Structure 1
Amino acid sequence: MTLQRMDNVGIVVEDLDAAVAFFAELGMEVEGRMPVEGLFADQAVGLDGVRSEIAMMRTPDGHGKLELAQYRTPPAIADGPRNPPPNTLGLHRVMFAVDDIDDTVSRLRGHGAELIGEVARYEDVYRLCYLRGPSGILLALAERIG
């Protein structure tokens, strides 16, 4: 048997509505939203009494997906510093290709995003930056140039 595809990246958030609005502003579309609870959820994630709500977001081409999850019970926990730096071990960030990095940064700032560092140029190929979004989510943007 072989790997079929990467299905999605899951991100636990404090405020599902804010995270959905943030990623919608980026250009992702809500594929579905639903509560998740019951024995199957407890068994799948290895926690007891799971009550959560998820929103599945997809990129406009339909190939990339994020599963945003807000836990009601047991409550989400923060392990380590609130906004860890980009060199922290573990899942690092999610990167998106955009047409206009300046416009995208400006729109996401309206949803609380903070630019980390600055928009940088990699040769004559890309303009790149890191942003911190809702619940401390670290994401990167890349605009192809030249």
Structure 2
Amino acid sequence: MHEQMARMYEAARAAGRLSGEADQTDLARLLNVAPQNVHNWEKRGPSKDALLDAQAAFGVNATWVTTGSGPMFVGGAAPATDEKWPFARLDLRRIQRLSPDERAYVEGKLEAVIEAVEARIQEQKSGQHAA
């Protein structure tokens, strides 16, 4: 594995965004890219865009990933985590940076998805009781 990618995985784990068992698919999901991209980066090193995406996704210092020098995270410390925040692949700080209107939009979308999931669960339970 390319040393820069080893550092990227290390930082994602240190930020609590990937487990110790994480693989290409997990990192790809975190960065919103295809697993093949991550595979290629593991062979040749991450692109500049990949470094910037990782910096935005979990606060890793792109310079640290590239050189191994300086702080691992932008600002010197791992991103703060809220133990009650249930979304491991979504940085709470990204939500907090949104405007009130943008947050309301995201909240509405999330509410609709949760309602759909709850309805599906209820249908599955009803189907099990009828059988």
| Shorter-normalised TM range | under 0.3
Higher helix share: 2
Name the one with the larger strand percent.
1
